[in-house]
Amino acid sequence: MKQLQQLAYKGILLGLGMLAIEANAQKQTKTYNESFKVAEDAVLDINTSYADIQFETWDKNEVVVEATIELEGATPEEAQEYFENSGIKILGNSQTIEIRTASRSLWGDIALANTVFEVPEIANIAPLFQDIAIPDMPALPEMPPVPPIPNIDFDYEAFEKDGEAYLKKWKKEFNKRFDKKYQKKMEEWGKQFKEQAEEQRQRIEKQRKEREEQREEQRQLVEKQRMEMKEQREEMQQQHKEAREQAEVLRLKAQEMARDIRRNVIINGDAPTIFYKSSDGDSKKFKVKKIIKVKMPKSTTLKMNVRHGEVKLAKNTRNMNATLSHTRLLAATIDGDKTNITASYSPVNVELWNYGSLNTSFSEEVVLNTVNQINLNTRSSHVVVDNLLKSMLGKNSLGSLHIKAIDTDFSDVDISVKNGELSCVVPTTPFTMYVNNTFSDFTYPDDLNVSSKKNNQQLVYTGYYQNKNANKTIRLHSNYSSIILK
């Protein structure tokens, strides 16, 4: 019985040994080593997929690259072909070093297009009030001409010479000119004048009544238009409400899409499975793990395009230009005003962000522990800033941005939010505030001195903390969003 147990035990050990030998036989490894003497302004250009990259800086004017590919599930011949056709290419000189991962996968690198969600715009309301023409007062008709007054000149020289005799003669001539015939003409003129005056009075009275009727019609029209405007305003408010609800649904869908994609893409841990098409046309399935380690001078500029992997930066990285997709970024310090990082479906964790621009989309785990100055553009992402020291120019669309603290020495914060969320703990130093709010929710602490003014569809808040002439400013713009100041 004891001999049988020993034989069984030896059989198990032998089986496990064979499995281990078979497993080792199926795992193939290739290492690439290159080094380059470089100038101070050298550029390291990296374009990889399914690779983890680690950086280290040193005081030598030299770039050293050590890259390893570990292939599992392939025969030695298949591994050799893979290494030759889909390995790692390292080329360079004193000015530029290039690191590339080739690909002859069956499907290639699947590029997911950036999905853009647009909330439909609400049509402009046509002008409700049209110019209403009110007829002018007609010109007064010409009155009948007064009968010509006879011209009887008075001769002063004759009067001085003849005296009373000339005066009698002149009176006689005057009475002759203003006889009964002339008086009759004057009576006829007076009658015509009276008739025309009556006609004019009647016309004026008629026009007065017409104007009163027009004013009543206008009043009714204005009332009708006011009711129509009220109905359209209510309809517009309902449309805005529906648009906000739609935007919220789109934002949640975008976040869920990002989560689904991250669940289906392996960023860390086990090596990804690659479907490889060999030279003979057969499809192969391998597990591949690529690790690239780089030592470089601090002055070397990084330019990266990394898909599906992890990037660990050196302690201090300046003026990096990187495009990351499904790639985890870990950094101690990012510096340089020329820094520009675009991360899609990629977690980002930075201890200190000194300067530069960060663009994220569909990235839920973006954590910046300390930020000095940043130009931040985020879409369908969840971004947390633990402490903002100086300034931020930011845009947030269909995502959430949380600023947990603003330093008392900050200068300015300018953030636009569209179909998203912003929460911010305000500083304890005096500052002024401006918030332009379009169909958004806005809450703020009671110790802020705030006034508001409505301007069409916008509600503008202005205010300050402690000193209305403070030279530190927080400016916020929101559309269909939620802003919470704490």
Please say whether the beta carbons of 362 and 381 come within 8 A.
yes
Q: Is residue 47 part of a domain?
A: no
Q: Is residue 30 part of a domain?
A: no
- DSSP H helices, 122-155, are none
What is the rounded end-to-end Cα distance, in angstroms, of the chain? 77
106 has pLDDT over 70: no
- DSSP H helices, 104-179, are 156-162, 164-177
pLDDT cut 70: percent of the chain above it: 70
- Tokens 């290639």 label which residue? 108
Question: Comparing 70-84, 145-159, 312-326, 429-443, which segment has the lowest mean pLDDT?
Answer: 145-159
Whether residues 365 and 242 share a domain: the answer is: no
Which of helix, strand or coil describes residue 373? strand
Candidate ranges 76-85, 200-209, 260-269, 344-353; pick with highest mean pLDDT: 344-353
Question: Comparing 88-102, 222-236, 466-480, which segment has the lowest mean pLDDT?
Answer: 222-236
| Cα distance between residue 451 and residue 433, in whole Å | 10
The DSSP H or E segment spanning 284 is strand 283-297
Whether residues 353 and 468 share a domain: the answer is: yes
Q: For position 202, what pLDDT does the model report?
A: 83
As beta bridge partners, residue 283 has: 277
Q: Is residue 70 part of a domain?
A: no
| Cα distance between residue 381 and residue 397, in whole Å | 8
Average pLDDT over all residues of the chain: 78
Sequential DSSP letters for 102-121: ---BSS---PPPPP---PPP
| Cα distance between residue 321 and residue 43, in whole Å | 11
Question: What's the average model confidence in pLDDT over 47-59?
Answer: 91
| CA 118 to centroid of chain Cα atoms | 12
Question: What's the average model confidence in pLDDT over 329-353?
Answer: 93
Residue where one domain finishes, among candidates 230, 261, 292: 261
Sequential DSSP letters for 33-51: EEEEE--TT-EEEEEEEEE
**Residue 8 pLDDT level (bands cut at 50, 70, 90):** very low
Range of the domain at 248: 156-261
259 has pLDDT over 60: no
Rg of the chain on CA atoms, in Å: 45
Q: Is residue 185 part of a domain?
A: yes
- CA neighbours closer than 13 Å in the CB half-sphere of residue 476: 33
In terms of Cα–Cα distance, which of 361, 481, 483 is closest to 422? Answer: 483
Residue where one domain finishes, among candidates 242, 261, 280: 261
The DSSP H or E segment spanning 2 is helix 2-26
Whether residues 230 and 356 share a domain: the answer is: no
Whether residues 390 and 248 share a domain: the answer is: no
Q: For position 289, what pLDDT does the model report?
A: 87
462-465-466-467 Cα dihedral, nearest 10 degrees: -50
Whether residues 246 and 392 share a domain: the answer is: no
Q: For position 12, what pLDDT does the model report?
A: 39
pLDDT cut 90: percent of the chain above it: 37
Strand ranges inside 313-398, DSSP E: 316-318, 321-335, 340-344, 348-353, 357-361, 366-379, 382-397
Please say whether the beta carbons of 46 and 302 come within 8 A.
yes
61 has pLDDT over 90: yes
Q: Is residue 182 part of a domain?
A: yes
Whether residues 486 and 337 share a domain: the answer is: yes
Q: For position 105, what pLDDT does the model report?
A: 44
Give the pLDDT confidence of 237-252 residue by residue, as tens digits: 677 667 667 766 766 6
Question: Comparing 80-89, 122-131, 345-354, 453-462, which segment has the lowest mean pLDDT?
Answer: 122-131
Question: Comparing 107-121, 323-337, 428-442, which segment has the lowest mean pLDDT?
Answer: 107-121
Q: Are strands 62-72 and 27-37 parallel, antiparallel or unpaired?
A: antiparallel
Q: Is residue 254 part of a domain?
A: yes
Token pair listed for 78: 């298949």
Q: For position 117, what pLDDT does the model report?
A: 40
Domain count, the chain: 2
126 has pLDDT over 60: no
The DSSP H or E segment spanning 315 is none
Question: What's the average model confidence in pLDDT over 321-336?
Answer: 92
Question: Comparing 68-72, 97-101, 214-218, 402-406, which segment has the lowest mean pLDDT?
Answer: 214-218
**Residue 476 pLDDT level (bands cut at 50, 70, 90):** very high
Whether residues 216 and 337 share a domain: the answer is: no
Q: Is residue 107 part of a domain?
A: no
Q: Is residue 195 part of a domain?
A: yes
User: pTM above 0.85?
Assistant: no
Residue where one domain finishes, among candidates 212, 242, 261: 261
346 has pLDDT over 50: yes
Name the residue with higher pLDDT: 81 or 429.
Answer: 429
140: CB partners within 8 A, 6+ apart: 200
Q: For position 218, what pLDDT does the model report?
A: 80
Question: Comparing 47-51, 76-80, 344-348, which segment has the lowest mean pLDDT?
Answer: 76-80
Whether residues 232 and 339 share a domain: the answer is: no
Please say whether the beta carbons of 78 and 27 come within 8 A.
no
- Tokens 């990235």 label which residue? 363
- Nearest 5°: phi and psi at 396? -130, 120
Give the pLDDT confidence of 153-167 residue by residue, as tens digits: 666 677 677 777 776
